[in-house]
Structure 1
Amino acid sequence: MSAYDDRPWLAHYGGRPAHLRVEFGTAMDMFDAAVAAAPDAPAVHYFDSTLTWSGLDHASDALAALLLARGFGPGDRCALFVQNDPAFVIGLVAAWKVGGVPTAISPMSKVDEFTWFLQRYRPAALLALDDLYLEVVRPAIADDPGIAVPVVVTVSGLDGQTRDDPRLFAGRRRHRPPDTIDLAALVAGFDGPAPRRRPVGPADVAALLPTSGTTGFPKGARISHANLTFNTQIYREWTGVDVGEPILALAPVFHVTGLVGAVTLAMLLRSPVVVTHRILPAVMADAIREWRPVFAVAAITAYIGLADESDITPAEMSSLRLRYSGGAPIEPAVAERLEEALGGYVHNIYGQTETTSPSHIVPPELRSPVDEETGVLSVGVPVSSTVVRVVDDDGRDLPVGEIGELVTSGPQVIDGYWDDPTATAAALTGGELRTGDIGFMDDAGWFYVVDRRTDVINAAGYKIWPHEVEAVLAKHPDVAEAAVVGIPDDYRGESAKAYVVLRAGSPTTEADLVEHCRVRLAAYKYPREIELVGALPRSATGKLLRRELRGQAAVRPRSTDPDPGR
């Protein structure tokens, strides 16, 4: 028996179930229940338009009927290459109706990246934005005719609304590529009957989603219907968002956070999901004012954008009473600043694509404790039916308070990656996920994430956690963002380098920041180099891409410092 078997985190459950009884076997069951219970209620808000649950059912029937007519088979992949648009939800449901697998491809992908996805997934159908079809899909297929997709449906971000917000659509026009099928015309011309459903079960794949890609090219996470319905219900039970309350898609819906924490949560709650094509702070601020959403979960950068790049006031933010952030630990100083600027506390949530979004959460009635030694905020406690352990390099449980790798097991953990047995064997064994995240559990059952295993810096045998250095930099009043990576050092092996984004108009120099760190950190920890940059590289979901920073770092000359602990 170890401390993790005792599950001390149950003390923070506040009456929530230790083991969750799941209401729906599949996501399709969840959707059908929403249509039956509230056919005329809003399902999707998109600028000045609203799609009801019955309207969404009709639109997805139209696409599903086309797929069946074109020979789409059970288990075939339907690639979704769109932004935060109603079309994503239509494509998602249509694929489920015909027993297919919705396969999300990031709309940030360029030709080479998109080609890789097509070669890996071999989709039988593709739903793409018209401009992405012209700029990415058509060139990719021209370069490699062997990856042509049998059925291609296109849609415009201008469809389904009349506002044509110039911040998003300036200079845009609708394209109707003659070698594709137009979704708007398809839906408008469809008069039934509803296509014959193909059954899906809890173990079937409900979505192929790209992992974050922070350490390399994304892998395709096989998220089952059982994974999806379980963690959708976890969001409901643990946040307290109620039936019919609007949900803001503040994260990309083609990523697990936006899919589960916005799209399928809306299905479970018969709530409208608010989508805005792209996640621009000023556009999101207007959506909050207009639709008064109650719940959102996103990377902390989305909240920073609202605070720094929009004019929204705390009073206008007041409807958004449930604010959650995942993707990376929040710096305590950042959390305090956002609470002051936006008038509400941002709660931590933690998980991976492989855990179908949350494995840990901070209940809305509580606040994250801060660990005094590392200075990090807790990411929360394991959710219902979930066990998390902290292990050493050999997989043995570590005592409370000791830092190691987090290993997660529960109904939300996927069974593997698409067509990648090597990666599956490395990360997923016996129903447990080796997360690659380094952290610890305190004696009260709160968990803390310090860094990724691959990001730890080894300076002459001394370990430097990048997060610890970043937390010190975040306390400087002129620092907006900071990221720390290891750079080669002929004497120590590695030293720390910081990339820093300053607040507008700041006179602070690199030397000022080095000194700021030197007086606050042990000698071996403070960054020997600081580079001021305009922005940090991030994934489409807001996760920091340290590998890109490491790639930029030049080889350092041999140090003459005689003390490797300096």
Structure 2
Amino acid sequence: MTIRSVRSLLADDPDVGAGNVLTARLALGLGLDEPLLTFDTPVDGHPAWQPLTLRELDRAVRARAAALHALGITRRDPVVVYAGDAADHVLSFLALTRLGAIPALLNPNVDGERAARYIARLGAVGVLADPARLAALAGHEVGAPLLPEIGTLGSGDPQAAPEPYRHWSGDPVAITHSSGTTGMPKAVVHSHASLYAAIRHRLRLPRPQGQDRMLSALPAPHAATLIALNLALSSHTELAVLSRQSGAGVLDAIEQWRPTGVIGFAATWAELAHHDLAARELDTVALWWNTGDCAHEVHIRRLIATGSRESVTREGRVRTPGSLFVDGLGSTEMGHSHFFITHGPGTERYGRCVGRPHAFVDCEVVGPDGEPLGPGEVGELATSSPTLALGYWNDSATTFRTRIRGRFLTGDLMYRDEEGYYYHVDRAMDSVELGDGKRLFTAMSEERVLAARPDVADCTVVAVRDGERVVTDVLLILAADADPAADRTKDVIAALEEAAAATVRQVLVVSGDDIPLGPTGKVRKVLLRQRYLDAAAGAR
């Protein structure tokens, strides 16, 4: 049996899903003692940066499952996991799903007060947390018992673990949450089948260059990490999972661990682009894999100028400078990116193009009445896919409000061209109606500003309707060698569409500390808009 046949067997087995990949993989008996999963922190007596084999991973999971079973955790029990280390999220997910329980993974960057309110709404049977998060929850009503500190679970007896729960395709296997940029994060529930649907599709395709040794710079509690984990288990990809996603930390990890591919969110690529990438040892990276929000062209170009990839020439296979960047668009609710496009040295289809839909996606751009729009018309993305989450936990009203004719309304404003390529222009909540059929798209405006000013490392455009007028502020974070005293207002206004440019109030140079971020690194534009409205009200 080969790794290729393992991929085929898992892809063709309808009983395999996100809740049982580990046990299904073990049953095939191949590569049990080869390095597979690496964490950046010590866990359960295992050193940081020392890979776990499949056999060692199974033992660690069974130990935690035994400890949880002894606490009375059983099938269908929602259990919150609130910890800073990626290892605790990954191992707890695997242990809880082995029991048929439902891990509710909570981002450690959510503050204690909001975390407590979020947990109370879940109706969880217990909370697994590390000492720092237990302290953050102190004094807040969480509505669920606090279980023993999460780091103690590894002392369980692996032999005492019950037999793995037998999952059905529709069983809930995880609750993750939205970015929380508009307020309280929404609890999104994924099924055994939905979290594995895209993996099943990928296993039937040739493994892309760069996927043999992947570094995950994704937030550990995110659905994207669970997909990356199960893809690694299914395709025998070595995977290292980072607990934190700062640009400097990711670069250090690349130099230390030497991956062939890196997977992350747009916010991390923006942070990486702030650094002098030519001065870092990134030569092993052949692939940058983006999910969530689509990435900005300037950040993509800086990344693909680094690394190296294998190319076929008349002289045979050679290593050539430059890497590839796979972009797309996804969300927690979508379960996986629904689009993809590959950028490399020489490619030119940018302008917030997210590519074409994956083969497992059925989508359309719709107007306010829910009817499909034609090429070039901007509307909201409505999409259907086996990867879609089941809905929002304990919130059927929001679940049904975001559905239309069997499709999920993503809140993304997009259009498609005549060739079937899709372009993302903004989130619906961040765009502003200007009248006369015109609309200001903040994300597209940021794209234009970044393209016009190479000395700008990142840009945030905030548009607010204040009475009858629309006011726009353009916030610039400069590259390290840029002149902070230079006036960039003229160039910024020239880069924007005429209707948007007319609304600009000020162009400000700011620091990263001035931009409020959500738990996953997304800009909280709703908070920036409220700051403006509060300041305007105070000045009246």
TM over 0.5: yes
> Which of 8, 11, 20 does residue 29 from structure 1 map onto?
20
Separation of aligned partners in 2, 1:498 and 1:480: 13
Match in the other structure for 2:454: 477
The match for 2:483 is 507
| Number of positions where the alignment pairs a residue of Structure 1 with one of Structure 2 | 497
- Say which of 355, 379, 386 aligns to 1:380: 355
- Find the counterpart in structure 2 of residue 445 from structure 1: 420
One-letter amino acid matched to 1:346 = F
Query: Residue 191 and residue 390 in structure 1: after superposition, are their counterparts in 2 closer, same or farther (change >3 A)?
Result: closer
Shift in alpha-carbon separation, 1:303–1:486, aligned structure 2, 3 A: closer
Supply the distance in 2 between the matched residues of 1:555 and 1:95 (Cα, whole angstroms).
Answer: 45
What displacement does 1:386 show?
A: 1.2
**Alpha-carbon distance, 1:86 to partner:** 2.0
Q: Which residue matches 2:37?
A: 44
Partner of 2:184: 217
- CA shift for structure 1 position 417: 0.6
- Equivalent position to 2:223, from 243, 246, 256: 256
SS in 1 for 2:119: helix
Distance 2:305 2:252 in 1: 20
1:105 has 2:96 as partner: no
Q: CA RMSD in A?
A: 2.8
1:415 matches 2:390: yes
Mapped to 2, the partners of 1:191 and 1:544 lie a distance apart of 43
Offset, 1:486: 1.4
Sequence identity of aligned pairs in percent?
Answer: 24
Letter of the 2:119 counterpart: L
- CA offset at residue 56 of structure 1? 1.5
Query: Letter of the aligned partner of 1:354 in structure 2?
Result: E
Which residue is 2:6 aligned to?
A: none
CA distance in 1, matches of 2:206, 2:179: 24
* 1:235 Cα deviation from its structure 2 partner: 4.8
Matched residue, 1:331: 296
The equivalent of 1:228 in structure 2 is 195
- Answer whether contact 2:219 2:243 (CA < 8 A) is retained: no
Secondary structure of the equivalent of 2:365? Answer: strand
Q: In 1, Cα distance between the equivalents of 2:165 and 2:53?
A: 24
CA gap 1:332/1:282 in 2 versus in 1, 3 angstroms: closer
- The correspondence for 2:440, drawn from 464, 468, 481, is 464
Partners of 2:496 and 2:336 in 1: how far apart? 34
Greater shift after overlay, 107-116 or 287-296? 287-296
Matched, 1:529 2:530: no
Q: More deviation in 48-57 or 549-558?
A: 549-558
**1:136 aligned onto 2:162:** no
The answer on whether the counterparts of 1:487 and 1:495 sit within 8 Å (CA) in structure 2 is yes
**Could you tell me which of 128, 145, 151 is aligned with 1:149?**
145
Structure 2 residue aligned with 1:16: none
User: Residues of 2 paired with 1:268 and 1:538: CA distance?
Assistant: 34
Q: In structure 2, the residue corresponding to 1:519 is in which secondary structure?
A: helix
Q: 1:334 to 1:244 in 2, by over 3 A?
A: closer
The Cα shift of 1:225 comes to 0.8
Match of 1:288 among 236, 254, 258: 254
Q: Deviations over 1:278-320 (max 9, x none)?
A: 2233332233233332232212232333343476757x32322
Shift in CA distance, 494/235, structure 1 to aligned 2, threshold 3 Å = farther
**How far apart are the structure 1 equivalents of 2:355 and 2:525?**
24
Q: Give how far 1:556 is off.
A: 8.3
Question: AA paired with 2:66?
Answer: A
Deviation at 1:209, TM superposition (A): 0.6
| Residues 201-233 of structure 1: per-residue CA shift (max 9 Å, x gap) | 110011101012233321111110111111223
Give the Cα–Cα distance (whole angstroms) in 2 for the partners of residues 391 and 248 of structure 1.
37
Secondary structure at the aligned position of 1:152 is classed as coil
Label 1:234 to 1:286 Cα distance change in 2 as closer, same or farther (>3 A). Answer: farther
Q: Which amino acid aligns with 1:106?
A: N
Deviations 1:313-340 (A, max 9, x none): 57x3232212122332333233223333
Q: Which runs of 4+ in 1 moved over 6 A?
A: 364-368, 555-558
Q: Give the match's secondary structure for 1:380.
A: strand
SS of residue in 2 equivalent to 1:395? coil
Q: Secondary structure at the match of 2:182?
A: coil
Preserved contact between residue 281 and residue 310 of structure 1 (Cα < 8 Å): no
Following the alignment from structure 2 to structure 1, what is the Cα–Cα distance between the partners of residues 432 and 348? 26
Q: Check 1:364–1:274 CA distance in 2 against 1; reply closer, same or farther (3 A cut).
A: same
**What one-letter code is carried by the residue in structure 1 that aligns with 2:356?**
V
Give the Cα–Cα distance (whole angstroms) in 1 for the partners of residues 466 and 206 of structure 2.
46
1:4 is aligned to none
State whether residues 210 and 287 of structure 2, in contact with CA within 8 Å, keep that contact through their aligned partners in structure 1: no
Cα deviation, 1:475-512, whole Å, max 9, x if unaligned, reads 2132111111212445x5212221221223533458x2
The answer to whether the 8 A contact 2:425-2:443 is kept is: yes
Write out per-residue CA displacement over residues 338-372 of structure 1, whole angstroms, 9 at most, x where no aligned residue: 3335642322121111111211112578987536x
- Residue 546 of structure 1 pairs with residue 513 of structure 2: no
CA distance in 2, matches of 1:370, 1:48: 38
Return 5+ residue gaps in structure 1 as ranges.
Answer: 1-19, 156-181, 559-566
Partner SS, residue 19 of structure 2: helix
**Structure 1 CA distance for aligned equivalents of residues 536 and 59 of structure 2:** 65
Distance in 1 separating the partners of 2:12 and 2:343: 21
Q: 1:204 aligns with which of 167, 171, 176?
A: 171
**In structure 2, distance between residues paired with 1:390 and 1:366:** 30
In the aligned structure 1, how far is the partner of 2:527 from the partner of 2:207?
38
Letter in 1 for 2:475: Y
> What is the alpha-carbon distance in structure 2 between the residues aligned to residue 409 and residue 148 of structure 1?
35
Structure-2 separation of matches of 1:128 and 1:149: 11
Matches of residues 295-306 of structure 1 in structure 2 within 5 Å?
A: 295-306=261-272
Supply the AA of the counterpart residue of 2:349.
V
